[in-house]
Amino acid sequence: MAKVHTKELIDKFQLELVSGEEGVHRTITTSDISRPGLEMAGYFTYYPAERLQLLGKTELTFISELPPQIRRERMEQLCTDETPGIIISREMEVPKELLIASHGTGVPIMRTKMTTTRLSSRLTNYLESRLAPMTAVHGVLVDIYGIGVLIKGDSGVGKSETALELVKRGHRLVADDSVEIRQEDEETLVGSAPELIQHLLEIRGLGIINVMTLFGAGAVRNYKKISLIINLETWDSKKVYDRLGLEEETMKILETEVPILTVPVRPGRNLAVIIEVAAMNFRLKRMGMNAAKQFNDRLTDAIASGDDIEL
């Protein structure tokens, strides 16, 4: 399970650590953020203690109006051993009862100048990205005309060599050999390279090359949304390959279905050009222009009208 330490949020958002320094290495395991309004009113039955707690002007104003004894009890209930941290927005004054409870349990108390709504939005986006489900696949990810194309296939089929040719044609390498894929939301997969092999490409017989050094910064990018998968496989004369492009197959990665095309590999086929055209054709399909469907419609109309068909 992915985790984020509270210390990372302090550094990322430049939060002021007011209290609870010993708890900055607590882990955050959910992107959900809690604004404990009902809890401040005394209802702790379903208190989500494992979430990051955010106190804004409304919560702090309500707390200040409570009797000292009740205020102290509520702050003690707010600070648990599970709570990864409490953030005060608008740089407001931290209640002394909250500081006392923090010293007792080690819950980090942080403060920021940002408004509550803006802070909540930024924290949620950051945590969703960091805590998103993740996997790694063997393949090469290339940005072709703005389309993230994941090239898969057996070892030695020519994935890296094809990627090199695509880079020479002006496209951008994202990752070679191992692609880390993060599920940003239900329909979005974002691929990137492990830091160890970022911008590197392995060519058999040549070795490891640095694409950014050889071709410039414009030849690489750090991450890209995966929109299309190209599976390279050795040509099988007994297998029937799709010649019209009417069939649309998908491959499931994590929880998302991604369109996949199978391209047979044999001597003389220019794989870089084929993949380049596949990416352009994919863009056209998304714009509503499907050449295979148009041809099929014409053929159906010709058959229905009884015209002679010459191919």
Binding-site residue numbers for ATP are 153-160
Q: Could you say which of 113, 138, 168, 286 is catalytic?
A: 138
List the end-to-end C-alpha distance of the chain, in Å, as a whole number. Answer: 57
For 126-222, where are the E strands, in sequence order?
134-138, 140-144, 147-153, 172-175, 178-185, 188-192, 200-203, 207-210
Q: Binding site: what residues are annotated?
A: 153-160, 202
Contact by Cβ (8 Å): 153, 172: no
State yes or no: is 199 an active-site residue.
no
Q: Could you say which of 7, 130, 177, 225 is catalytic?
A: 177
Token representation of residue 246: 């009417």
Q: What are the C-alpha distances in Å from 252 to residues 53, 222, 238, 249?
A: 35, 23, 27, 10
Q: How many residues does the chain have?
A: 311
Q: Which residue has the tokens 């509270």?
A: 6
Q: What are the C-alpha distances in Å from 298 to residues 26, 286, 289, 292, 301?
A: 64, 21, 14, 10, 5
State yes or no: is 168 an active-site residue.
no
Q: Could you say which of 239, 243, 252, 307 is catalytic?
A: 243
State yes or no: is 185 an active-site residue.
no
Tell me how far apart the alpha carbons of residues 236 and 197 are, in angstroms, rounded to a whole number. Answer: 33
Tell me how far apart the alpha carbons of residues 159 and 234 are, in angstroms, rounded to a whole number. Answer: 12
Q: Which residue has the tokens 């290495």?
A: 25
Which neighbouring-strand residues pair with 250?
259
Which stretches within 106-222 are classed as H helix? 116-130, 159-168, 211-215
Tell me how far apart the alpha carbons of residues 286 and 293 are, in angstroms, rounded to a whole number. Answer: 13
Residues acting as catalytic residues: 138, 159, 177, 243
